[in-house]
Chain A
Amino acid sequence: MAEIETIGILDEIQALVSDRLQVVSYKWLSRNFLVSSNVAKKLLQEFVEKHGAGLEVVYSLSGWLKTNPSTYHIRLVSQSKLAEAKEEFDNNCSLQVYSVQSCLPKDPAVLWNSEFVQAEELFKQPPDVDNCFRDNRFCGILNSFVKRTAGGGTNASTSTPQAKSTGVLGQSRNTSAKHPALAPPMQKKFQQSSPSISLHSPDVVKDVKNDSHSTGTHEQNVKPNESKGKVPQLPVNKKKGPNDKNSSGTTGALANMWGQASAKSKAENFAANSKDSLPNSTASADAQICALEDREYDDSDDDITIKRAPNGEATRKRRVVFDYSDEEDDESKEPITLASPDLPKMEPVLGSKQSSKSSDLEKDKLRLDEKKEEGPSVKKRKEAETKTNQTLKEESSTLSKATNTNTSSLEGNVNHVSAIGTNVKEKRRKVLKTRIDERGREVTEVVWEGDEADAKPDCQEVKNIDMTSANASNRLPVKKSPAVGMNAPANQAGKAGNKKAGIKDPKQGNILSFFKKV
C-alpha cells in the first residue's frame, strides 16, 4: 500500500515536471499531497535518485560558513555548482533537494511562483477553514501556543495572553466573566456539528491540552453543557458561572472549534461577540482594535445579522461589561450608554410585553398591539422550545448567564450596575428607573426623559419588536434554526432602531470611544 502510494506520487511528479514543465518544490509537494515537508523532501530525494536523469535539481544547502563562522548560511544551488558551494560550508552542513524542474529558470523567483500560487489559494479559502497553510502543520516544529481565530482575526486578542501564558497575564483573564457566557454555546455547537469537523478537531483539542490548566476546564465546560438541557435554566446558569470563569484558557480553542464547525457568517458573528467581551480581560489596545473591526464586520454583512434577533442580546451585554471594565474611559458617557443595551436583553426573555408597550416611538400602534399579545406567547413558545430544543436552552441560558456574570463582575463597583442585576431578577420597574437615571446622568439629550415608559432605550424596543415579530410571523424559521434565531443579533435591530430614532446610541458611543483611544 505504502509503496504503491509513493510510487504513485513519484509518477505524478514525473508527469508534472517533464510534461507540464512545472517546478516541483518540496513545499508545493507537501501541500499538494498533504505530507509533511520532511517527507516531501525525502520523496523528492527518492525521485531524483530514480528519475533524476535529464532533470534539473536545485538543492538547499545550509550550515555554518567556514569563512565566517558567525553566519548561518542557507543557499540554493544547482546541481552543477553543488560541489563548489559545499566547499564553503562547515563540514556538517545539511543538503536537501529543494525543487525539481525540467530546466533552470532565468529568474530564480520562478521557483517560488507555483508555491506562492498554491499558498495564495489556500490563503483565500474562507477564514474558518483550517488548511495546512493556516496551521503550518507540515513543518518540523510544533508550536502548540499558536492559536488562530476563524473569524478573520477577531479573537486573536483573546488568545494572545495565553501565548504569553507564562502566567503574567493569566490572572486577569481568569477574573473576566465574559468568556463563560460565550463558551457554552460554542461548545454545544461544536458538539452538534462535530461530525463535520472531525477532521480538524483533533488538532484543536491537542492544542487545548497543551495548556495544562485549560484541559481541565474544558472538560468541566462540556459536562455542564450536557447537563444543562435537563435542568431548569436559571440554576444551571448560576452553576455554570463559576465554572466558566475558570475556563479562560479554553475559549480560544473553543472559538476555533466554533469557527470550524459553523458557517462563516455565524463564526463571524460569534467572534464579534467574543471580541467584545475580550477587551475586558486583556484591556489591551489590540483587543479594542479588534473589537472595532468586528463591529465593522457586523455592519458590513447585513444579511447575516438581520436573520438573528435574540442572540445579539448576549453580545450586547458583553459589550457593556467590556466598556465598563475599561478603566481608560474617563468619560462617564460611554459606560452608561453602553449599559442601557443590557436591559433590553433581559426584557425580551422575562417579559417582552411591557417593553413593547413602551415602544411607541418607532413602530406603529398596530404592531405594538400585536406585540403585546404575542409577548407572552413568545415566552411560552420559548419555554416549549427549550424543552424540545437544546439550542434554545443554550440561548436562554447564555442570556441569563451573561446577566449573571455581568452582575457578578460589576457588583459593588457602581450602583446602577447592581441595579441592573436586580432588575434582571425582579423585572422591569427598577429597570426603568435605573434607566432613566442613567440617561439623565449620562445622555444629555432630554428627549427621552419626557415619558418614563418611553425612557427605555429605543434599541430595546426595537429588539423586542424584532423578537416578537420574528417569532410571530416566522415561527417556523425560528424553530428550525434556533441557533440562528438566537444569534440574530439585537445589534442589527438596535442599530436600525437607533438610526430611526436619531439618537446617539451605544453603538456610536463605542465607535467614538475607539477613535479616542486610538
Chain B
Amino acid sequence: MEAMKVDSESRLLQRKQCAYESLDETFGIQKEIYKGQQYSHIYFTRLRSMRTLLYMLLPNWKPLLPVCTVLGLEEGKECIIVGTLYKHMKLKPSILDEYSKERSPVPLVQPHNFIHPDDYLILEDESGRVKIRGDAVLPSAYVTGVVAALHGKETGDGSFLVEDVLEAGLPHQVERPIISGEDKYVVFVSGLSVGGSSSNPLQYQLFVDHITGHLGDEKEQSIAAEIVQVVIAGNSVEMHHGLLNGQSLGMKELNRMSESIKELDILLSQIAAGIPVDIMPGPDDPANFALPQQPLHRCLFRGSSAYNTFRSCTNPHSFTLDGIRFLGTSGQNIDDLEKYSDAKDKLEFMERTLRWRHLAPTAPNTLGCYPFTDRDPFFIETCPHVYFIGNQEKYETRVTKGTEGQIVRHICIPRFSETGVAVVLNLRNLECHTLSFKIEFDTELEEEMKNRKNAHD
C-alpha cells in the first residue's frame, strides 16, 4: 500500500522526444552479387565524382594554370593534375611475403604501423601514373585512394614536383537548426563486448540503469529523461570464436555461442523499453566483414526487436535528430588510416576524411569493402554536424570549423568494456560530456591483505 502511495506521489518524468530520420539507404546493399566484379569501378566512380568537384574549385584556387592529364604532362610546364593518390609503402604487408622463399629484408610486423620514411606517393588517372615529389605533399599524411588536385611541374626524371595541393575540403553543410532552451542528449557507446572476458557486466548494467532512469535520485533521473537517443557504435558482443573449429557444433557449444548474444538482447531490451536505440555492427560483431556492414539481423535480437525503439543499422551510419545530421562508423575506417598514415591524434584522421570528402579512402585497398560497380557510398556529399567513430582507446572530442562556416563535432567513442565511459552529446549546443562508471569497493582480498598485515605487525 505504502508503495503504491509513494508511487503516485512521485510523479513520473516524461522522456523527451526527438524527430529521427534514418539516412542509411546509401549504405545498404540491396542486391549483393559477387559476379567477379573488380574494385576498379569504385576507384573509377570515386575519381569521376571527385574530379568534377575539384574542377569546380580550381577556378577559385589557381585560375591561370592549365589542367593536364598525366599523359599530357610536359617537362617543365606548370600545370594542375587531378587524380587518385596511391601510396607506395615499403612495409605494407603483402600476402606474397609469406610465400617468398627468402625472408624479406623488412620485418613483417611493425610495432606501430606500416609507415616508413621511404614511402612515396603516385598520382594516377585514366591516362597514366606519375611519381610525386616535393615537400608540399607529405606521404605520411596521405593514403591510397584519396583524390586530390596537385599543382606542379614534371621534372627531368619523370616525376612530378608538387608545389601546392588542393583537397576537396569540407562538404556543404545544412545549417543547424537552433534548438533553444531545451537540452536533449544523445548517448554514444561502443565496445560493450557483452559476454567478453574483459567486460564487467555490472558496469554496463549500471549504464543501462542510468539511462533508463532507474539509478539515482530524481535529479539524476531528470537528466536521464533528457536522453533522446542511444547509439551503440559497434563491438557490442564478444563471440566465443574459439568454439568454431570448422565442424558442426553440439547443442552445448551452440548454446554457449549464443549466450552472449542473448545477454546483449536482454540488455538491449532494457534500453529499448525506455529509449530509442540504434545498434551498428562493428568489426567483432556477427555481421559481414566488408564495409558497409549491413544491419545485424533482427533474428539475433528476439526480445529487443519487438520494440519500435530498436533499430538495427548499417555500419557507416547516418541519421538526423531534430535536423542535426550525424555520421559515424564503428571505427574501422579510422583504424585503418592509422595503420597507413600518421597524425597527432584520432581526431585529425577524422578531420582528414571529411576534408577528403571520403569516409574510407583506404577501402578497398586495405579495408574490406563490397565491390560496388555504380557508386561509391563512402563519398561524403553533405557535411554532418556530428561525426563519431567507435571503439577507440580513449575519449576525444573537438569542434572543427570549415571554410564555409561548417561546424562539425568530432567524437571518438572509447571502448566501454575497457574504460567504462560513454559519451553524451547535447543536441542544443553540440557540447559533449562523458558518462563514466566505476565499481570500487574493498574486496575480501584486500581485507585479507590488511588482516595479514595486522597479524604480522
Contact = CB atoms under 8 A, between A and B. Distances in A.
A85 B438 CA distance: 11
Interface stretch (B129-137, B153-161, B305-313, B353-361): B305-313
B17 interface: yes
A143 B274 contact: yes
Contacts of A516: 30-31
Contacts of B269: 123, 133-134
Given A71-B436, A72-B436, A106-B445, A152 B306 contact: yes
Interface string B208-223: 0110111111111101
A354 interface: no
B175 to A, nearest CB: 19
Interface string A117-145: 00110010001000001111011111111
Contacts of B30: 328, 516-518
Interface in A26-47: 26-27, 33, 35-39, 42-43
B420 to A, nearest CB: 9
Prevailing SS type, chain B contact patch: mixed
A389 interface: no
Interface size class of B (residues with CB under 8 A): 35 or more
Contacts of A21: none
Contacts of A37: 213-215
Interface string B1-16: 1110111001011110
Contacts of A335: none
B200 A62 contact: no
B148 to A, nearest CB: 35
A74 B3 contact: no
Contacts of B303: 123, 127, 153
Given A71-B436, A104-B441, A289-B298, A120 B266 contact: yes
Contact of B441 (A76, A150, A164): A76
A248 interface: no
A502 B365 CA distance: 47
Contact of A163 (B6, B308, B312): B308
B200 A109 contact: yes
Contacts of B18: 166
A62 B210 contact: yes
Interface string B225-263: 100000000000000000000000000000000000001
B7 A36 contact: yes
Nearest to A142: B12
Contact of B12 (A80, A115, A141, A286): A141
B189 interface: no
Given A148-B308, A153-B298, A141 B15 contact: yes
A511 interface: no
Contacts of B205: 112, 115-116
Interface stretch (A2-10, A468-476, A490-498): A2-10
A139 B217 CA distance: 11
A54 interface: no
Contacts of B200: 108-109
Interface in A84-125: 85, 92, 94, 96, 103-106, 108-109, 111-112, 115-116, 119-120, 123
A80 B297 CA distance: 46
B437 interface: yes
B2 A6 contact: yes
A60 B7 contact: no
Contact of A136 (B6, B14, B212, B301): B212
A123 B220 CA distance: 27
A473 B139 CA distance: 82
Given A76-B438, A156-B305, 15 more contacts: A26-B214, A38-B218, A63-B220, A71-B435, A74-B215, A76-B202, A104-B442, A106-B444, A140-B12, A141-B221, A142-B13, A145-B15, A147-B309, A154-B306, A518-B294
Interface of B: 1-3, 5-7, 10, 12-15, 17-21, 28, 30-31, 200-202, 205-206, 209-210, 212-221, 223-225, 263, 265-266, 269-270, 272-276, 294-295, 297-299, 301-303, 305-312, 424, 432-445
The 8 nearest A-B residue pairs measured at CB: A78-B441, A2-B2, A141-B213, A136-B273, A153-B305, A159-B308, A2-B1, A166-B19
